[in-house]
């Protein structure tokens, strides 16, 4: 057997989404056929943290050799078969240090990047392909600055990684949001209620705005624009009374905030290693306010509410067409960059064309909805104008 040209490591970090396995498959098959060996780093950056640098050690929980047989079997399924985590090696809490590092790192929060670099060398990784959102990829940028040959692939339900119009997972998220919103209409319509659906979106409202634009909801609330519950109630009462079935629908981004408030609504106070507390609950707050204010705008009549948080329903299961096709292209783009010896790059899809951009873009400003262009702050719904020359998903990475 001919000696491999080099070894490529691939990992998935952050939340799982449909489309990760097709991306892993695309990278692996192309890499093997180009003469490279491929290792899957298990559990995101955690696999490189927990690795034991001993040839006799069992590192099967941290590293997996990837073959065409393995990735072909997994490539048409959802999630990530090499698993994921929110581990951040530059800010690792003492309590989660692996046993072999507890004597070396004694601070409450530790930067174990020196161990990561040694582990990359121990594994013989010549190239590294992290797939993730801006948190996962920001550490990929750190390793690039340390001299690691990094090519990154963007993934996130929220579609908020800068530099690309599309991130793996977004298409399925939008598809499922539309599907489940239409399914839930029967409950709202049968009981003549408001329907409040909480969707993903910590800082960016793409997952609420696009389904609403596609006709899934009457109104949407996005993180980029603090909202007033009374005004929303007035609008939804109007929508409900115009509907022959006497119901109205609003999509609420999990990161939405009410006017005169400057904080998110959290499920708990526990933070992950990137400093994020788990969001959740704004939908229920909106539902309570709709019940409270509805008599004011409907001649004293109170309207009840169906409130539903979609959560994992839109990130589980198999990928849709977009999240099968785009990951295939992204994986091959990543291999193109490795063959060109072009590193510190993020593969991208911009205005309908595949490209790549500097990975440092992920550490800059956040990608959010341009409210002035796309969101009517008075009507709490999208603008339906200026579609000429826009890409498939309307809002570009330049906005």
Any idea which residues carry the catalytic annotation?
158
How far is it, in rounded angstroms, from Cα 393 to Cα 175? 12
Query: Which two structure tokens, joined as six digits, stand for 175?
Result: 């598809």
Query: CB of 151 within 8 A of CB of 343?
Result: yes
Q: In this structure, are strands 353-358 and 345-350 parallel, antiparallel, or unpaired?
A: antiparallel
Q: In this structure, are strands 7-12 and 127-132 parallel, antiparallel, or unpaired?
A: parallel
Q: Which residues contact 360 (CB under 8 A, 6 or more apart)?
A: 141, 344
How far is it, in rounded angstroms, from Cα 31 to Cα 36? 5
How far is it, in rounded angstroms, from Cα 154 to Cα 165? 10
How far is it, in rounded angstroms, from Cα 195 to Cα 181? 9
The residue to which tokens 């603090």 are assigned: 226
How far is it, in rounded angstroms, from Cα 68 to Cα 327? 16
Phi, psi of 50 (to 5 degrees): -85, -10
Q: Which residues contact 115 (CB under 8 A, 6 or more apart)?
A: 49, 89, 101, 104
Q: Which residues contact 251 (CB under 8 A, 6 or more apart)?
A: 177, 181, 197, 199, 208, 211, 212, 216, 217, 219, 220, 221
């Amino acid at each position: 057997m001919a000696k491999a040209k080099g070894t490529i490591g691939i990992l998935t970090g952050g939340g799982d989404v449909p489309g990760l396995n097709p991306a892993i498959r695309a990278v692996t098959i192309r890499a093997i056929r180009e003469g490279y060996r491929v290792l899957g780093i298990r559990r995101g950056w955690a696999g490189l943290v927990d690795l034991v640098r001993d040839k006799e050690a069992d590192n099967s929980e941290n590293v997996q050799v990837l073959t065409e047989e393995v990735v072909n079997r997994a490539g048409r399924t959802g999630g990530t078969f090499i698993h994921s985590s929110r581990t951040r090696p530059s800010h690792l809490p003492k309590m989660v240090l692996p046993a072999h590092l507890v004597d070396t790192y004694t601070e409450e929060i530790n930067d174990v990047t020196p161990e990561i670099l040694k582990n990359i060398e121990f594994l013989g990784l010549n190239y590294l392909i992290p797939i993730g959102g801006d948190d996962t990829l920001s550490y990929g940028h750190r390793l690039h600055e340390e001299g690691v040959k990094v090519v990154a692939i963007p993934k996130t339900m929220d579609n908020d990684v800068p530099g690309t119009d599309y991130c793996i997972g977004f298409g399925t998220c939008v598809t499922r949001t539309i599907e489940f919103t239409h399914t839930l209409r029967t409950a709202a319509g049968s009981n003549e209620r408001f329907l409040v659906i909480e969707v993903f979106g910590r800082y960016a409202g793409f997952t609420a705005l696009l389904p609403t634009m596609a006709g899934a909801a009457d109104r949407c609330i996005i993180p980029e624009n603090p909202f007033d519950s009374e005004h929303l109630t007035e609008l939804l009462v109007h929508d409900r009374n115009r509907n022959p079935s006497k119901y109205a629908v609003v999509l609420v981004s999990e990161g939405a905030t009410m006017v005169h408030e400057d904080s998110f609504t959290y499920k708990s106070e526990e933070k992950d290693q990137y400093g994020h507390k788990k969001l959740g609950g704004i939908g229920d707050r909106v539902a309570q306010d709709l019940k409270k204010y509805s008599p004011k705008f409907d001649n004293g009549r109170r309207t009840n509410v169906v409130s539903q948080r979609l959560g994992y329903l839109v990130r589980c299961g198999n990928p849709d067409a977009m999240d099968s096709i785009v990951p295939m292209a992204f994986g091959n783009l990543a291999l193109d960059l490795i063959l060109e010896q072009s590193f510190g790059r993020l593969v991208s899809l911009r205005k309908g064309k595949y490209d790549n951009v500097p990975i440092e873009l992920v550490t800059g400003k956040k990608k959010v909805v341009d409210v002035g262009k796309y969101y009517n702050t008075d009507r709490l719904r999208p603008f339906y104008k200026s579609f000429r020359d826009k890409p498939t998903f309307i809002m570009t990475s330049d906005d």
